Amino acid sequence: MGNPEGRFTLTLYADLECPFCRSYFPVLKRWVAGNADVALQWHHLPLAAHEPAASAEARLAECAGQASGHAAFWQAVEWVYAHTRSDGQGLPEDLRYPDLTPPIEQCIASERPDAAIRAQTAEATSSGVTATPSLRLHDRETGKAILLQGPIEGDALLSAMDMLAAGDPAATPTTSEMPADVVGDMPR
């Protein structure tokens, strides 16, 4: 979401059952839309306390993206947040995703989405992400990145962008990236 050619990549580590993520996502989406130099990426981090609903919803979003692209992924995320009961309660039992197609159903029945979800969860853990929502802001020009825990306001994100652009020594070089073959399959 946002500008894929932008200087900054903002990675949101989130759980689709996280009530804080649910309320923060529309705020972050508006902020990204207003900042032409930012691309937003999503990384699934289903929390154990929210299972099995968090992983089931992550599978739906992944499969929507794999079947129909970036816009479908983000649409599925928004739909889940609009309908989930949160905190591990999941979606109402009688509710079905309105854009469920045979390719999405086949994907959900397969193990394909699990690989991306596991890789994203492992990357989050190795990067020190301990809570959702968390953000990693990466400056493509300087190669520096900073991890920000919690729902970060727009002014703080702008300050972090300025810090990275200035080459602030408090920021760290990006050391853990996901393998290109895993990233290439992601619908972000």
Delineate the domains of the chain, giving CATH numbers in brackets.
Answer: 8-184 (3.40.30.10)
Q: In this predicted structure, what is the pLDDT of residue 183?
A: 34
pLDDT at 167: 73
Given this model, what pLDDT does residue 169 score? Answer: 59
**Within a 10 A sphere around the Cβ of 58, how many other Cβ atoms?**
27
Looking up tokens 């972000």, which residue turns up? 188
CA atoms within 13 A on the CB side of 165: 12
Cα distances from 187 to residues 43, 76, 86, 107, 132, in angstroms, run 11, 12, 24, 13, 20
Tell me the CA distances in angstroms from 164 to 136, 140, 151, 155, one per residue in order.
12, 10, 19, 14
**Whether the predicted pLDDT of 174 surpasses 60:** no
- Distance in angstroms (rounded) separating the CA atoms of residues 15 and 9: 19
- Here the tokens at position 115 are 């690989």
pLDDT tens per residue across span 13-51: 999 999 999 999 999 999 999 999 999 999 999 999 999
Average pLDDT, the chain: 88
**pLDDT single digits (tens) 153-166:** 999 999 999 999 88
Alpha-carbon distance 63 to 76, whole Å? 9
**Whether pLDDT at 60 is above 80:** yes
